[in-house]
Amino acid sequence: MILRNRTLGAALAPAARAIQEALKSRSHVSHRLHNDSGISFRSMATVKSTTRKERRLHPLGVRIMHWINAVAIFIMIGSGWRIYNDDVLFGWLRFPDFLVIGRWAQYGLQWHFFGMWVFVINGLVYLTYGIASGRFRQKLFPISLREIIATIGDALRLHLSHEDLTVYNAVQKMLYLGVMLVGIFIVITGLCLWKPVQFSELASLFGNFQIIRLIHFLCMSAIVAFVAVHVMLALLVPQSLIAMLTGGPTVADTLAAEVGATPAEIDGQDRSNPAKR
Amino acid sequence: MSRIRTSSLFHPRHPSELNALNESKALVDDLNRRKVLRGALTLGALTLLSGCDVSEEPSVQNALRAVSSWNDAVQGAIFRSNHLAPTFSPSQVVKPPRFNAYYDIEDVRPIDGATWKLELAGLIKDKRPWTAQEIYGLPEQELIIRHICVEGWDYIGQWSGPNLRAFLTRIGADLTAKYVYFICNDDFIESIDMASALHPQTILATKYAGELIADPFGYPLRLRTAIKLGYKNAKWIRAIEVTNTFRETFWSKQGENWFAGI
């Protein structure tokens, strides 16, 4: 886990201390809770989710949506490649027949215009859940450039640890946020390709039909790149793959775990700050 | 025209490909009758999607076509009947237009304009056939619009001819009917919904860039609408039928989406 890294711990210490200060200053609304596992953690009474009991890292709903999304993306990319092959954007790129979905163009189109419903409806439910439940805020924010650079440095020196699946490092946060934005973008450009006249106002924001095709294609490329890294890392760290099937480790509450555990961890590791010795 | 030809049904390299499709369909149907393929839609079969195309398995094809019909309904619901497609300037027009049909350009069977007549059928009061000269005498509307092919290519074309709504009104067609069918000289049949037929940018084109349409592009009469994919724009029309009865069209039989709005 990234916070165990000395350099990064030092980098994050001021921020962590600020969180602690903020918590102290709000102590009139704070109290200590004990969950079933006996782990104590701070909680803000104003945050409704802290009253919940223990939960899994990936609640069942998230797991179902993840795998529906995986199937939808498989369908959309395979059929999209079939559609692409009918009129290639780049003369040097044609997707081989064994990689595409649908022997005939119309089958590719049928799959694409079926998969779009699965992808969009599942995606909307996921985004709504992620925002409403606070999962995105807890898992993906805050995200700082400094942290991203530090994590990339760690990754290059193979210093990243995966002992704790429950906290995402800065690069993970960036990738997950990025692929969600790309997912939104590919749906918008897809709508513009499907209905360039009905949604002509929207389509005109991007440019002509071929430019929209190109953007749609580039979004696909970004998603393929993400999937390649995502699948590779999931195979390198099998417990993360298992967690997406079984739910993973129990977390008392993600928000509470973050504000409760992180400062302590940092304090314990922060040996670069003389004031702490 | 310089683009790479693909295995698409829109540009078959060999006419026999269609036969191959039909033959394999018959084979799958036959196998299905013997219930060999029942229940084949397993995860294992899905992984073989591309190798042995599960899309052709009747239950899968039925499901996909059901979704396609649902998409027809959605497209009808979001259709904006008075929303105009973008138009362009004459300097952007591509000449000649790009050829599209279910066969190659060499196989076009030209129509003799002197003997050709447009037949009318269905829910139309005045079914008197029209000669080319009579149609040329009608008021013309010009459209400089983007042609978008389902394959992904597009070009800007300049089409003119009588407005379809004006023509349907003139012949006493029932404008509350559901469909307008176009029966073409090349055994091609396409249809559009009445709302699209009545859209201000739907015309019966007789001219391209100010000249009579050349043979490969639909002489003497073709449909040109700014709100449908290219394949809906029937060429070499020999009859127009107004009806409430849906029947499959050339491309919808092949599994293409019927509404095909853009």
DSSP line for A211-242: HHHHHHHHHHHHHHHHHHHHHHHHHHSHHHHH
Per-position b or e across A175-213, b if 16+ CB within 10 A of its CB? bbeebbebbebbbbbbbbbbbbbbbbeebeebeebeebb
pLDDT tens digits in sequence order for chain B, 262 residues long = 344 444 455 544 454 455 555 666 665 565 555 444 444 444 445 545 444 689 889 999 999 999 999 999 999 999 999 999 999 999 999 999 999 888 999 899 999 999 999 999 999 999 999 999 999 999 999 999 999 999 999 999 999 999 999 999 999 999 999 999 999 998 899 999 999 999 999 999 999 999 999 999 999 999 999 999 999 999 999 999 999 999 999 999 999 999 999 9
Residue ranges of the domains in chain B? 16-78, 90-253
CA angle B63, B253, B111 (to 5 degrees): 165
Mutate to test the interface with A, among B67, B153, B155 (most CBs of A within 10 A): B67
The pLDDT of residue B23 is 63
Q: Is A105 in Cβ contact with B8 (below 8 Å)?
A: yes
Q: Is B51 on the interface with A (CB under 8 A)?
A: yes
The maximal CA–CA distance of chain A, rounded, in angstroms, is 70
The pLDDT of residue B175 is 98
How many angstroms separate the CA atoms of A24 and B25, rounded? Answer: 72
Class in CATH terms, B90-253:
alpha beta
Q: Return the sign of the alpha-carbon dihedral for residues A247, A65, A228, A154.
A: negative
Phi, psi at residue B183, to the nearest 5°? -105, 125
How many angstroms separate the CA atoms of B121 and B241, rounded? Answer: 5
CA angle A74, B67, B151 (to 5 degrees): 65
User: Which residue of chain A comes nearest to B6, CA vs CA?
Assistant: A86
The pLDDT of residue A251 is 80
Q: Is A238 on the interface with B (CB under 8 A)?
A: no
Complete domains list, chain A, with CATH: 1-54+252-277 (no CATH), 58-250 (1.20.950.20)
Q: Is A120 on the interface with B (CB under 8 A)?
A: no
Q: Which two tokens stand for residue A11?
A: 């980098």
Helix (H, G, I), strand (E, B) or coil at B160: strand
How many angstroms separate the CA atoms of B113 and B105, rounded? Answer: 19
How many angstroms separate the CA atoms of B200 and A10, rounded? Answer: 68
Question: What residues of chain B lie within 8 A of the CB of A208, using their CB?
Answer: 154
Q: Is A210 in Cβ contact with B3 (below 8 Å)?
A: no
How many angstroms separate the CA atoms of B220 and B241, rounded? Answer: 18
Nearest chain A Cα distance for residue B21, angstroms: 9
State the burial class of residue A60 (Cβ atoms within 10 Å of its Cβ: 0-12, 13-18, 19+). Answer: exposed
Q: How many residues does chain B have?
A: 262
The pLDDT of residue A248 is 84
Helix (H, G, I), strand (E, B) or coil at B103: coil
State the burial class of residue A59 (Cβ atoms within 10 Å of its Cβ: 0-12, 13-18, 19+). Answer: middle
Could you tell me if A189 and A212 are in contact, meaning their C-beta atoms sit under 8 angstroms apart?
yes
Q: Is A113 on the interface with B (CB under 8 A)?
A: yes
Is omega for the bond preceding B220 within 30 degrees of 0, making it cis?
yes
DSSP result, B184-238: ETTS-EEEEEHHHHTSTTEEEE-EETTEEPPGGGTTT-EEEETTB-GGGS--SEE
Q: How many residues does chain A have?
A: 277
The pLDDT of residue A252 is 63
Q: Is A100 on the interface with B (CB under 8 A)?
A: yes
How many angstroms separate the CA atoms of A197 and B61, rounded? Answer: 29
Nearest chain B Cα distance for residue A104, angstroms: 7
Instruction: Find the CB nearest A106 among B146, B152, B255.
Output: B255
How many angstroms separate the CA atoms of B52 and B249, rounded? Answer: 27
How many angstroms separate the CA atoms of B254 and B260, rounded? Answer: 13
pLDDT tens digits in sequence order for chain A, 277 residues long = 333 444 444 444 444 454 444 444 443 433 333 444 444 344 444 444 444 556 888 999 999 999 999 999 999 999 999 999 999 999 999 999 999 999 999 999 999 999 999 999 999 999 999 999 988 888 888 878 887 887 777 777 766 666 677 778 788 888 899 999 999 999 999 999 999 999 999 999 999 999 999 999 999 999 999 999 999 989 998 989 999 999 888 886 544 444 444 433 333 343 333 333 3
User: Residue B228: which residues within 8 A CB-CB, separation 6 or more?
Assistant: B192, B196, B260, B261, B262
Tell me how far CA of residue B203 lies from CA of A70, B139, B233, in angstroms: 44, 11, 10
How many angstroms separate the CA atoms of B146 and B157, rounded? Answer: 6
Q: Is A200 in Cβ contact with B226 (below 8 Å)?
A: no
How many angstroms separate the CA atoms of B253 and A235, rounded? Answer: 44
Q: Which two tokens stand for residue A248?
A: 């993973």
Q: Is B67 in Cβ contact with A107 (below 8 Å)?
A: no
Q: Is B65 in Cβ contact with A78 (below 8 Å)?
A: no
Q: Is A102 on the interface with B (CB under 8 A)?
A: yes
Question: What residues of chain B lie within 8 A of the CB of A77, using their CB?
Answer: none
The pLDDT of residue A164 is 74
